[in-house]
C-alpha cells in the first residue's frame, strides 16, 4: 500500500464555482423553451481537478477564492470533505462564482460569472505554497491567466513553482477566452511550463493547427510536453522525443461536464508519480470515463 508520505502533493490554482447544469431534452430552442433536467452542483476547473486528484489518491492543495456567502462556504466544505486541503480565501462583498452549463449530448455551452475568482492574487499563491513545503507539482487553470484581474496570481503561481523546483502544468481552459487574449500572449505566459493540456479547439487556437498531432508537436516549442484531448477519440501526448497516442474506450455519456478536469487529474496523478506518457494517458482516460458517466463535474463517490 502507498503511504501518504510517499504520495506527491499537487498544488492546484484557479476557480471555485457553483455549476447550474441543465441537461437539455433536445437542441436549445433559442428565444423559446427547452425542457431540461436542472441541477445545482459544485464546479470550477481547478476545484474539479483538485477533487478528482484527491479521489485518485493524490495529496492536493487548492488555492482559490470564494465569496463570504453560503455558496462559498458550501463549496469549501464539499472540497474539504473530499480530501482537498483548501487554501481558499473568502471575500466579503463579492459573490462566489457561478457557471450555467447547457448540456446536449456531447456538447456543452457555459455562461460564466467568475465572481470572487477574480479576487485571487499573488499573495494567496505565495502563502499557500509556503504552507505546503511537500508540494512537488503545481497545476494552473488558465482561467486565472485569461482575466486581467487574476492574471498576476496565475503568473506568480508559475514563477513561484519554478523557483521552488516544482514541475508545472497548465490547462488551457477554453477556446473563446484564448482567442480574446490572443494565442501569442498566452503562449508567452506559459512558456517553459512542463506540460500544457488543451482540447482540440483550444489547441487549434494556440497552434493554428486543426490536426491534433500537428498541434501537439507545435506546442512543444513552448512547453516541454503537450497533450491534446480529443474526447471520445482519445488524446495525443507530444514531447521533443515524439508522439504517444491514446485511444479512449467508449462509454455512454450522461454529462461531459468536468470530464477534461477528471482526465487532467488522472494523468497528473500518474505522471507526477513517475509514470511514462502512455500510462499517464491511460489513467486520464479512466477518470474521464468515470466523469462522463455521472451528472456533474465531481466524483460521485468517496475515493478510489
pLDDT digits (tens, 9 = 90+) for 47-63: 999 999 999 999 999 99
Residue keyed to cell 508545472: 168
User: Where residue 246 falls among pLDDT bands split at 50, 70, 90?
Assistant: confident
Position 6 scores a pLDDT of 58
Position 3 scores a pLDDT of 42
Q: Does residue 5 register a pLDDT over 60? A: no
H/E stretch holding 17 reads: strand 17-24
Domain ranges, ordered by start, for the chain = 10-16+45-87+118-292
CA angle 284, 121, 267 (to 5 degrees): 5
- CATH number for the region 10-16+45-87+118-292 comes to 3.40.1190.20
Q: Is 134 a catalytic residue?
A: no
* Catalytic-role residue among 15, 124, 255, 261: 261
- The mean per-residue pLDDT over the stretch 192-212 comes to 96
Total H helices, total E strands in the chain: 11, 13
CA pair distance 11, 63, nearest whole angstrom: 7
CB–CB of 183/204 below 8 Å? no
CA pair distance 56, 287, nearest whole angstrom: 8
Torsion of CA 56, 96, 18, 301, to 10 degrees: 30
Amino acid at each position: 500500500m502507498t503511504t501518504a508520505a510517499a504520495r506527491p502533493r499537487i498544488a492546484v490554482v484557479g476557480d471555485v464555482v457553483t455549476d447550474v447544469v441543465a441537461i437539455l431534452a433536445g437542441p436549445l430552442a433559442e428565444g423559446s423553451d427547452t425542457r431540461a433536467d436542472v441541477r445545482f452542483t459544485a464546479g470550477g476547473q481547478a476545484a474539479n481537478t483538485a477533487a478528482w486528484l484527491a479521489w485518485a489518491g493524490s495529496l492536493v492543495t487548492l488555492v482559490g477564492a470564494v465569496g463570504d456567502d453560503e455558496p462559498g462556504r458550501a463549496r469549501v466544505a464539499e472540497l474539504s470533505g473530499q480530501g482537498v486541503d483548501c487554501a481558499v480565501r473568502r471575500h466579503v462583498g463579492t459573490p462566489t462564482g457561478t457557471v450555467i452549463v447547457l448540456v446536449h449530448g456531447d456538447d456543452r455551452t457555459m455562461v460564466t460569472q467568475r465572481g470572487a475568482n477574480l479576487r485571487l492574487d499573488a499573495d494567496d499563491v505565495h502563502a499557500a505554497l509556503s504552507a505546503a513545503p511537500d508540494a512537488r507539482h503545481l497545476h494552473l487553470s488558465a482561467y486565472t491567466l485569461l482575466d486581467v484581474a487574476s492574471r498576476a496570481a496565475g503568473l506568480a503561481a508559475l514563477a513561484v513553482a519554478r523557483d521552488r523546483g516544482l514541475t508545472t502544468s497548465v490547462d488551457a481552459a477554453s477556446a473563446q477566452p484564448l482567442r480574446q487574449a490572443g494565442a501569442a500572449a498566452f503562449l508567452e505566459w506559459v512558456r517553459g511550463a512542463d506540460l500544457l493540456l488543451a482540447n482540440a479547439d483550444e489547441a487549434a487556437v494556440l497552434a493554428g493547427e486543426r490536426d491534433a498531432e500537428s498541434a501537439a508537436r507545435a506546442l512543444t516549442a513552448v512547453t516541454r510536453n503537450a497533450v491534446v484531448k480529443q474526447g471520445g477519440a482519445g488524446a495525443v501526448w507530444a514531447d521533443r522525443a515524439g508522439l504517444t497516442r491514446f485511444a479512449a474506450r467508449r462509454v455512454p455519456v450522461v454529462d461531459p461536464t468536468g470530464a477534461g478536469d477528471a482526465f487532467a487529474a488522472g494523468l497528473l496523478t500518474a505522471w507526477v508519480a513517475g509514470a511514462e506518457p502512455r500510462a499517464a494517458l491511460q489513467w486520464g482516460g479512466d477518470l474521464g470515463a468515470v466523469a462522463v458517466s455521472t451528472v456533474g463535474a465531481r466524483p460521485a463517490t468517496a475515493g478510489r
